[in-house]
Amino acid sequence: MRASKWLYLAAALALAGTALAAEPLPRYNLVELQAEAQREVPNDTLSASLYVELNDANPAALADAINKATNQALQIAKDYKSVRVRSGSSQTYPVYTKGRLLQGWRGRAEIRLEGKDFQAASGLIGKLQASMQLGSLGFSVSPEARRQAESELTAEAIGAFKARAEIVRVALAGRSYKLQRLNLISGSSALPPRFAMARAMAAGAPEVTTPDFEGGASQVAVTAAGAIEVLD
């Protein structure tokens, strides 16, 4: 009986020791820090959408006219190999009078284009504007250019974080510090692009002056945020 009692006590002490070992030790002089590295990266990708919008009393005739317009636009775009072009959204909806009587139908279809060759893209947009309207235009940094910038900024952000940690250590009169946690956060924001949109040379002109584009730049940033423990 006495032997089993000692075995029970030894097991209980072992379990208590394991529980104490599992508890995290309290940390002192824990300081939260954040540092950022950023730069302007030229926008190297142009994205645009053009659309055609028509009205007709006959929905079948309307669909036929819209399909012809978009098919013609896609055919023209084939000559611009460096510009990626695809069909966009398409919709048809009824148009009513104030008395809620069906007056006719309105249809809209768009195409979207994207590319790094601004000159080719502007030439295509200028040609398509003879029969379509420019719906949207934007500039951005390509994924590969963004990854390269973020890789370089990551090293800069970590270096800035370490420099700030050293300033904190000196200010707190610590002999050293220990990194407890570090998170890297990347992001970007587009700066307002500058571009000149050209108007038609004359009302009803079959061709439109080629627009000139300046893509501008985007702000790419990497933030290093974490915590250090200053050691006495």
pLDDT band at 221 (very low <50, low <70, confident <90, very high): very high
pLDDT in tens, 99-117: 889 999 999 999 999 999 9
The CA-based angle 175-181-183, given to 5 degrees, is: 130
Do 149 and 130 have their domain in common? no
On whether residue 62 sits in a domain, the answer given is yes
CATH code of 57's domain: 3.30.70.360
Q: Is residue 169 part of a domain?
A: yes
- The whole model's pTM is what? 0.71
The pLDDT, as a whole number, for residue 189 is 82
Residues of the chain with pLDDT > 90, as a percent, come to 72
Question: What pLDDT sits at residue 208?
Answer: 67
| pLDDT tens sequence across 25-62 | 666 789 999 999 999 999 999 999 999 999 999 999 99
pLDDT at 22 over 90: no
Give residue-wise pLDDT tens across range 204-216: 445 667 777 788 8
Residue 19 has pLDDT above 70, yes or no: no
CATH number at residue 168: 3.30.110
Dihedral Cα 193, 199, 205, 211, nearest 10 deg: -30
Tokens of 230: 């200053």
Based on the fold, state whether residues 65 and 174 are members of the same structural domain.
no
| 70 falls within a domain | yes
Query: Could you tell me if 149 and 135 lie in one domain?
Result: no
Residues 14-18: contacts with CB under 8 Å, at least 24 apart: none
* CB 208, CB 221: distance < 8 Å: no
Number of domain units in the chain:
2
The rounded distance, in Å, linking the Cα atoms of 79 and 127 is 11
Range of the domain at 229: 25-44+141-195+210-232
